[in-house]
Structure 1
Amino acid sequence: MVAPGFVFGLVLPLLLRADASAAHSNSWMVVLDPVKPGGPYEVMAQQILGRKNFTLRIHDVLFGDVWLCSGQSNMQMTVSQIFNATSELSNTAAYQSVHILSVSLNQAQQELEDLAEVDLRWSKPTLENLGHGNFTYMSAVCWLFGRYLHDTLRYPVGLLSSSWAGTPIEAWSSGRSLKACGVPRQGSMPSDLETGPSEYSVLWNAMIHPLRNMTLKGVIWYQGESNVNFNRDLYNCTFPALVEDWRQTFHDGSQGQTERFFPFGFVQLSSYLSGATPNDGLPQIRWHQTADFGYVPNLRMPNTFMAVAMDLCDRNSPFGSTHPRDKQTVAYRLHLGARAVAYGAKLTFQGPLPQKIELLGDMGLLNLTYSQPIQVQRHNKIFEISCCSDHQCKWLPAPMDTFSAQTLALNVKSCRDSLAAVRYAWTAWPCEYKQCPLYHPTSALPVPPFTAFITNQIPGYRSKVAK
């Protein structure tokens, strides 16, 4: 807090410009002209109040891109919990211009103006800062994502982690975004899932809203497990609504310095074993993460990117299969999306998508044409078709018949009635670690799960399902 009417000056040595502002309330903000990435600099703030002169200096200030990392336990997992932890923790010398900050776990009933506290102030990466303790700091996905970005950008990156295990999306959403989706009044999460706060908006109030004045390059998000059995059918609204609300809030809070539609990346949920979860619960939430398109960016989720993780399962994780330890691959896939969507790089950042479905009824085949080349490992159960008769439908396996560079034919002769739909990898655990049947041949990015209706039964009919 400062006294009303004080005069404030800001000095950045080695820069040509200094900015000053006069405060007329207990809060103030200085917006600098764009500064090229680099540093370190010293920032000096000076308060002149009558005859008194107070000076504050901040050392080792870098200019670069700041990314916010948020979500629940898979975002909160620290570097010390992942595969090759010892090596990752020791690999910090080349990344001293990647600075990290971790927000403390707090909740509030009203929107806070400032963070109540932080676990880790802006710091350089060290063994202690990256592996302080399980589910504390620093987020492994956040750190690895920033490290991969730094390898490409070659300039400073700031990583801001604000996450809490076992929390539903409703806790991270503002009241206005929940209202826009018609979310019912406060519900109760299943007791076997509740490990963190589930009250609506309490984490938005305490752990996101106080950050709104920061200038962000983008956000990465790893959340959804706590919504598999809680308001799952609303997630195709609550997630896009959260993205839109965060974008508007950070744009306004930074006085337009954060882009209105800043890049927003997320992890499509991995696989885990849970007897309490219906087999179609995870596939549904994965689908809803894309606003029911099956891919991003799309019309409802522009300027977004996704890391598919269903093939990164870890049944032997000491933290439970919900918490797979391969965070390197997750972060690498996220960084590919960021490079393409946020930085305009021309590269493959997502697996092949089904572009066209062609029913060859007289041959008993369903042809799928993909947007990119596919690498195929034969599997007879991962594709299913919905076969309907007398207003009743059941899902049947559709074995692979033949395949080529970008097409795959399914044997659908088992359906002697009306073929209504087809789906891929629509199960909680579709494959073992990195052994799903369909990948891009050079990038090794998996084909995401999908479901599509077959809207016409005329042989040779072509259905376009994705762009």
Structure 2
Amino acid sequence: MVLQQEPAGAVVWGRGEPGAAVTVLLSEDGGLVVMKKTTWVKEPSGMWIIVLDPMGQGGPYALRAEQGSENVTLRDIYFGDVWLCSGQSNMAMTVLQITNASRELAAAARYPYVRVFAAAPARSEAELEDLERIDLPWSLPTAENLGHGNFTHFSAVCWLLGRYLYEALRYPLGLVEAAWGGTPIEAWSSPRALRTCGFPEDTGSSAVPPNISSHQHLSGPQTPSVLWNAMIHPLLNMTLRGVAWYQGEANAFLHTDRYNCTFPALIADWRRAFHAGSAGQTEPLLPFGFVQLSTYRRQSPDDSFARLRWHQTADLGVVPNAKMPGTFMAVAMDLGDERSPYGSIHPRDKQNVAHRLQLGARAVAYGEKNLIFQGPFPTGAILEVTRALLNVTYTQELVWRQRDAPGFEVCCSSGSAPCRWLPAPVVTAESRTVTLALGGCGRLVLGLRYAWAEWPCEYESCALYNSWGLPAPPFLLDTLPAAETPERSRRAGGKELLLLPGSSCAQGI
């Protein structure tokens, strides 16, 4: 296995005879003992826990636990960084299921210092101290371990994230998967986190916020808190370096517009719980990365995927932000895969997903300076009333990759008619500015949005990227100032500054 390296101390725990002393010894491969710790088994739980002294990267080591004449020894242990990967089916997809699977599986053996562990899907009505089952005990990466079956183990996104981080960091990585397909965020949330967002005390199928109708009867693994209880709570003693999360498809059809609360609440709650469970060794602002939703149905008029993507950022468009500090995001809306044999909701290109995720991890979790880890985001716009143009300014140099790709829409009104969303074609994209045509718009521009669709563009062919190939994320602004009066227009030369969300957020530049 891999245990968390310095500056944190790795946590080791287990069961024993209540009241008995347990001694843990860490030794080098040659048998030299480098650390010895003793504790007592708690009553009546029968659990013991020890925090090891911080260890530098490397190994191998042996870890021996002794109670009286009984002992257990674990071997081939390294110290490095430990990441937890969780979510639903796009996190559970194995390396066997992705693009270039055979090549990826064949390459696995070249990374013996990336170790993998997978918890089996399980649910519980009460918080558990131990995992009920394990799909994959701590193992070396092999073709069999990484491609055991469809949605079984091991996670392709998790593996590729760990592999890419290993290639950048060059020290051991431990990867822990706890994922279950088709599950909403409520199932992964503790009752404490759900109460933060207005869910009642009861965590059964009726646990929906006031005035929010449930779209379906929540049962089995969809029941609030049952996956937190069975798959996350048993891991809380672990010292972690970071979390990777790929979930949200289920919530595009359930409590969609509560995700801007439930997701930040889950992040904050997991951070508190892992910090406390590891006796303070997991840092309070545990780095938390996530994948923004990809695509589903090409021609769907439904905007629930677009709304969920927006809510994944707490309605600010980019992360980290004030509501979601210490987070990072991989945009995936341009990686649609209509021909995926696992359904279009399961695109096979997980390499790009993991690449974008590891850029965020290196910038946010590891503090790598001057690393571009996300695409361009708008900071403001100037409305030219007389020419019916809108000039949108971005944070980075733009690459107008697909000139005929639909992308921008404006919400227009002629005054008395209700606001309606109309396409705003790109006229030019130069340097950091995009100019949009407002020919079909009235004098009142009330909103602006980009890539607001379930399937925004073809594969790697959205309208805007940066020079590093990272797509501009979707955004929504539905509170633009009213059209200027003729007098204001004359004073401002027919132009008005419109501020967009996220202008104060870190852009990784």
Question: Would you say same fold, with TM above 0.5?
Answer: yes
Change (3 A) 1:91 1:291: same
Distance 1:302 1:30 in 2: 30
Q: 1:226-268 CA distances to partner (integer Å, 9 max, x unpaired)?
A: 0111100101000000000000000000001001011000000
Q: 1:176-207 CA distances to partner (integer Å, 9 max, x unpaired)?
A: 1111101363359757x989721111001000
How many angstroms does 1:4 deviate by?
A: 2.4
How many angstroms does 1:16 deviate by?
A: 3.4
How many angstroms does 1:283 deviate by?
A: 0.4
Residue 69 (structure 1) aligned with residue 90 (structure 2): no
- Conserved 8 A contact 2:444-2:482: no
Residue 355 (structure 1) aligned with residue 379 (structure 2): yes
- Conserved 8 A contact 2:302-2:454: yes
Other-structure match for 2:344: 321
Opposite residue 258 of structure 2, the aligned amino acid is: L
How many angstroms does 1:343 deviate by?
A: 0.3
Other-structure match for 2:497: 462
Pick aligned residue for 2:411 from 386, 391, 402: 386
- Conserved 8 A contact 1:37-1:64: yes
Residue 242 (structure 1) aligned with residue 266 (structure 2): yes
Change (3 A) 1:116 1:380: closer
Runs of at least 5 residues in structure 1 that lack an aligned partner in the other structure: none
CA RMSD of aligned residues (A): 1.7
Q: Which moved more, 1:170-179 or 1:373-382?
A: 373-382
Distance 1:406 1:208 in 2: 43
Local SS of the residue matching 1:422? strand
Change (3 A) 1:103 1:24: closer
Local SS of the residue matching 1:408? strand
Residue 6 (structure 1) aligned with residue 20 (structure 2): yes
Pick aligned residue for 1:22 from 35, 40, 61: 40
Change (3 A) 1:445 1:195: farther
Distance 2:275 2:195 in 1: 21
Change (3 A) 1:112 1:457: same
Other-structure match for 1:251: 275
Opposite residue 197 of structure 1, the aligned amino acid is: P
Opposite residue 362 of structure 1, the aligned amino acid is: T
- Conserved 8 A contact 2:301-2:453: no
Residue 223 (structure 1) aligned with residue 241 (structure 2): no
Residue 102 (structure 1) aligned with residue 118 (structure 2): yes
Opposite residue 497 of structure 2, the aligned amino acid is: R
How many angstroms does 1:5 deviate by?
A: 2.5
Tell me the TM-score normalised to structure 1 length. 0.95
Identity %: 52
How many angstroms does 1:278 deviate by?
A: 4.8
Opposite residue 17 of structure 1, the aligned amino acid is: M
Distance 1:286 1:394 in 2: 21
- Conserved 8 A contact 1:439-1:447: yes
How many angstroms does 1:23 deviate by?
A: 2.8
Change (3 A) 1:2 1:361: same
- Conserved 8 A contact 2:128-2:234: yes
- Conserved 8 A contact 2:405-2:461: no
Distance 1:37 1:391 in 2: 65
Pick aligned residue for 1:449 from 461, 474, 483: 474
Opposite residue 38 of structure 1, the aligned amino acid is: G
Opposite residue 320 of structure 1, the aligned amino acid is: G
How many angstroms does 1:380 deviate by?
A: 6.3
- Conserved 8 A contact 1:166-1:195: no
Distance 2:40 2:252 in 1: 50
Other-structure match for 1:33: 53
Pick aligned residue for 2:179 from 150, 160, 163: 163
- Conserved 8 A contact 1:189-1:198: no
Distance 2:270 2:319 in 1: 18
Opposite residue 186 of structure 1, the aligned amino acid is: A
Opposite residue 262 of structure 2, the aligned amino acid is: T
How many angstroms does 1:456 deviate by?
A: 4.5
Local SS of the residue matching 1:363? coil
- Conserved 8 A contact 2:298-2:455: no
Other-structure match for 1:186: 207
Residue 343 (structure 1) aligned with residue 366 (structure 2): yes
Local SS of the residue matching 1:344? coil
Pick aligned residue for 1:201 from 225, 245, 251: 225
Change (3 A) 1:336 1:122: same
